[in-house]
Structures are given as structure tokens and as C-alpha cells.
Structure 1
């Protein structure tokens, strides 16, 4: 929980990949340390928040992240998508689709397929088309499916949370049932200000551009939050000509970075700043941030990205290919191999390392 709070949420779009983000930050971490808290009434929750991507966040901060995040920025998209599919406005969706679903699943989890079937039935009952031809992503092949499920919109509205998996299917649960009892729903604007405050505490000093990049809030919302926080903020001079914000002495001092850190795809550090120069040279940014929004696995040496890595499982265990982004000394290579030996112990497998 402390790591999720210190990082203002751990990116977990790929849940299994995100376990390695926790391992990189916690001595002797085991997956059970996370799963024991990632449960109903537990200390952690996984849901869509900043950048509209899945994050594992402290349950106590759920509404701050969800209602204070960029959900309002996506509301026009939900409205337009619903309109194109013949689904009425948000008030209708909440009253006649979402609230009945929440009543139906009260106190239990349901699979994605169960949500789909429920929505098809409700839409049909209201005289609307329950199923239709859908275009999925970049596929040229249309598929047939529910005209509307609402899972993403309900999550952004703070009504539904991810509750794990059942086989290959995601499980979902009412946020009111998942969270500890007694949590009232706060004002969204207060949540937004608190989210920006938490981000500055964790990542500061930061610029307006960093805040907008990390949160995906609109510029006007970032400005409003900074205005609300201005009496507590300190303007930092980083000799870059820009305006940077922190909470002065209240901000956390960064500890000395470990000698070697192995990070997974889309790690929260990589996504924490628009300006990557704190840990990544400008001339190699594109080697970490690839096409189609890819963010490669990285290896940090003394706090700076020195290599990317890929893995492939085989009958002997795991093969790791390390691609250096600068010349590595023999001692640095040995340190990387040693860290992958620790990673192998965590993964419960053997790992062979090859430098490209």
C-alpha cells in the first residue's frame, strides 16, 4: 500500500506485468503481498484513473483518483459513442442500465460476460437494440456484440471496480461493496485538487506540463487545481526557464537510487513526467517510447535508463535480451546479471541474460 501511495498509483494496465513494478520497489516482495490487499475491503483497488489506464491505487484514495481524474474529459466520448449506437443520454444510462445492474450484483462479483448479457436484456426491455455489428480496434472484421456494456463509463463514474479474474474473464463489483463501509462520495472538484496535490507531493518539483501529461487533465483543470493549492506551493528554480512546483520542505526528499533497477513495461516512473530528462537522455527517448504508444522495459543504472530489455519464456525458463543504450562497463554488466538473478528468484525460474 505504501508503494502504491508513494507512486500515486502503480500502472497496472497489464496486471501481471505490474507485479514487477512492486518487486522493483519492495525488498523480498512476493505476489501474495499484493493479492492479499487487492480484494474487497482490502487496502488496494485496481481501476481506470489517470490517462484512462488501469492503476493499482490505495483504496482509501479511490474517489480522489477516479472522480478527480480525467473521467470528465472522456464523458463527451461516452455520450457520442452511445448516441451512435442509439443509446439515450447519461441520465438514462445511469437510471435504467447502471443502477439496475448494481442492484442486481449487490454483494457479489460478476464476469464481463454476465454484465454484457444483463445489458442486452435491459436494452431489449426498453425497446432498444441489444446487439449490433461492432468494429473492434484496427480489425477490418466486424463482430457482433452488445450494443452497450457501460463497464468503462461506470468505472469512470466511480460505480464499478475491477475485482480480479475468473479464468480468462475479468470480474467486476460495485465500488460500494468493494470499498470499506462508510465511505461517502466527495465533490469531484475537491478530488481533482487533491489528486494534483498528491502528484506534486510524490513527483515534485513538477511543471504544469508534467501534471497534465501524468493526469491527462485539461489545462484549465490543472490551472484551477494549482490556483486552489497556491498558498501551500513553492515555485522551484531548476535553471530551465520553466515554472516548477513543489511543497517546499513538505515535499519528500528523493533517496539515493539503487545501483541497478529492472522495470517492466509502462512503469509508473516512465509515465510520471512529460520531461524525461531526470532519468533518460533526450537522444534515446524514442528507444524507450516506441511506436503505437509502446513503453519498453528498462534497466536503470544509478537512476538513469541505461538499457531496455525483452524476455522470452522457453523450456529452460526465461531468456532475457538486454539492449544497452550506452556503452556498459564490465562491472555494470555483472551488476545487471546479478539483479536478473534476483529477479529469477522472484519469478521462480531460471533466467539467462544476453547483451545485444
Structure 2
């Protein structure tokens, strides 16, 4: 398999070039988790992988607790299907907590303080109560626990990692709604062996072709645990050696190159970029680091799976302006399809959209 096939195969496994699913929670389960650090962008990431799914549709599903938001892979915020959250946290949370130990000490958050903050938060959210981030912090302060600086973040994250709370909606982009995990359906736990296998299976199915190094990066697991997960499912995957690397993927998909270009406006932290340690296969058209094109924090333009520029949105009264900054010269077909991608973004927001090209 040539390296040039990888972008086309990833477009399919990532559901960007095909749409197997109809509901937001289904695509989230397919990935096992969709990074949701950039809240508006993560909703757009989900929408691009479904048919006719608007921002309002995703907000409604989120409010219905079909999926939730919590700290998961790599200790970063992810959307996770409600029925998956418990086994994912049981597998990944201990490693995240261990990695936080030094920061806990720096913030004077000893285990006794964290235990007490957990108890206060759990008590506040019992019997279906729900509070915003700012309201929960006010409750902690009222009970004599300082939330100054980064203490707030680490206490809320710790209660989430300990399986007490999660985010079940959003008042605004920066003020999530916290709910008790008791509001979610009870689900069976998995043994560590099966949890590692399930995480690996979903990763290589949804992200393949990918390497073990990619999986280790994405999951935040120790290398030995990532290898154990892959070994448990490798008979259901196809290995392919390219250069000195072994790529693994589901054998159900083959590279399909279309007669017309495939264009995607990817949000920041999209799984198409953040899901891999090595992104060289999708950066072949851009050989130098320039203007954030290799930075996962930037929204990017992808043409036939290759990252070829950046973009951003600006709201102006009742419309949205999309500024495009391609790093390569686009032909007529690519420009036309890019216009369609911008139009799709306007449909997702249910707002008029206008385009500006930035040179």
C-alpha cells in the first residue's frame, strides 16, 4: 500500500467520506470519544460525519444525555457516549490522576482536600440537581475550599475522573452544566483486558490506517498497555508495512479516490489531526511549518485528505463570515467544492454565510 492511500482510507474510517451513522451518539461511540476541548468546533466535527445534522440537533442530543462531556483520552475533554463513560474512566482515569500528582502538590491539593471537594460536589448534585461551573465553584468556596487559579480546574476534573460527575449540557461555551453520574444509565463494567481490547478495536477501526505509536499518543496509555490492547484485537485488523512503520486498519475499507475533490473544513482538535502522533501522511502538500497548518489548535482545510490551509469563522450580527487561507493554489474544481463546504457550514449553523479569501 503506498503512503498516498492513507489519507483516502482515513477519510473513510473517520466517516468524512462516507456516513454510516445517523445520530451524534453513534458517531461518538464509533470513535470511542470525540475531543471536545473546543466546544463549538467539536459539534461541527460531529456534524461533518453525519447527514443533515445541525448545531441545534447536537445540542438537543447533548441535553438528553445521549452523550456527555468529560476528561478522557490524554486527560483532555471529550464527548463520550453515556453508556461508555464508566469503563473508559475506569481504564484511563488512574493514569491521568497519577500524572497530575505533581500539579496537585503545587496547588496544595492533597488527597484529603480532594476527597472533601469530591464530597461537597457530590452532595450538591444529588437528587437530580445540576449546576454550572461557576455555581459549583461558588459552593466549594462557601464550604471553605479555595478555587483560586487552577485549583478550580483540577478539583472539577478530579471529581469527573473519580466517576462522580460529568458535563451534561452547556449554558454558554465556557460555562458547562455539571450533573451527577448517577443520572446516567447503569452499565456493565469491563475487565482491564477487555477494556484495553475495546479501546484498541474502536481506535484502529475509526482511525486506521494508524500505528501503535499513534494509538499510544491518542489514548494516553502506557506503551505496554497500548501494545496489549492491540495484541488482543490484531487478528481482526490488517497490518501494512510502509517504510519502517506498521499501519493497522479494518479490512472492510479500501482506498477510494474520486473523480472530483473531497473538501472538508476541519475544526481545531479534529480527530483527523489530533488522533495521530505522526501526521506526515496528511501534510505531504505542505512541507514547511507555516501559519499553524500543522497545529491541531487551528481549524484546517483538507482537500482529498491533505491539509492545505487554515480557516476561521467570525460572527457579524445575524451572519457568519468564513475566512479561508489556503497555502496552495486551488484549481477551479477545488474552489467550487470549497464553496460547497462553506455552504454546508452555514447549513449546520442555520445562518447565512459569506466567504473571504485571505492571501
Q: Same fold (TM over 0.5)?
A: yes
TM-score w.r.t. structure 1 length?
0.80
For residues 322 and 147 of structure 1, the distance between their equivalents in structure 2, rounded to whole angstroms, comes to 37
Q: How far apart, CA to CA, are the structure 2 residues paired with 1:158 and 1:254?
A: 40
Match of residue 12 from structure 2: none
The match for 1:174 is: 180
Distance 1:174 1:260 in 2: 40
CA distance in 2 between counterparts of 1:73 and 1:299 reads 34
Whether 1:119 and 2:140 are equivalent positions in the alignment is yes
User: Structure 1 residues 252, 288: CA separation in 2 closer, same or farther (over 3 Å shift)?
Assistant: farther
Matches of 1:198 and 1:49 in 2, distance apart?
Answer: 15
- How many Å separate the matches in 2 of 1:114 and 1:315? 30
Structure 2 gaps, min length 5: 1-24
Residue 328 of structure 1 pairs with residue 343 of structure 2: no
CA distance in 1, matches of 2:124, 2:107: 24
Structure-1 residue corresponding to 2:14: none
8 Å contact kept, 1:309–1:321: yes
In structure 2, what is the equivalent of residue 226 of structure 1?
Answer: 230
Secondary structure of the residue that 1:13 maps to in structure 2? coil
For residues 199-348 of structure 1, what are the structure 2 equivalents within 5 Å? 199-230=203-234, 232-234=235-237, 236-247=239-250, 249=251, 251-253=252-254, 259-281=262-284, 283-284=286-287, 286-287=289-290, 289=292, 294-315=296-317, 317-347=319-349, 348=351
Displaced runs of 4 or more, over 6 A: 146-149
How many pairs are equivalent? 330
Distance 2:76 2:296 in 1: 14
Q: Which residue of 1 aligns with 2:96?
A: 74
C-alpha distance in 2, partners of 1:62/1:252? 28
Secondary structure at the aligned position of 2:215 is classed as helix
Q: Is 1:47 equivalent to 2:51 in the alignment?
A: no
Render the CA deviation track for 1:138-181: whole Å, top value 9, x for unaligned.
Answer: xxxxxxxx68862101212222101223356322111121x12x
Displacement of 1:11 in angstroms is 2.0
Equivalent-residue separation in structure 2 for 1:189 and 1:157 (angstroms): 20
Q: How does 1:187-198 map to 2 (within 5 A)?
A: 187-188=191-192, 190-198=194-202
Q: What does residue 86 of structure 2 align with?
A: 63
Q: 1:165 to 1:219 in 2, by over 3 A?
A: same
How far off is 1:284 after superposition?
Answer: 3.9
Matched, 1:6 2:21: no
The 2-side partners of 1:216 and 1:285 are apart by 28
**d(CA) in 1 for partners of 2:119, 2:286:** 51
Q: What is the distance in 1 between the residues matched to 2:292 and 2:91?
A: 27
Query: In the alignment, which residue of structure 2 is the partner of 1:17?
Result: 41
Return the structure number with greater relative CO, CA threshold 8 A, min gap 6: 2
Q: Which residue of 2 aligns with 1:101?
A: 121
1:22 is paired with a residue whose SS is helix
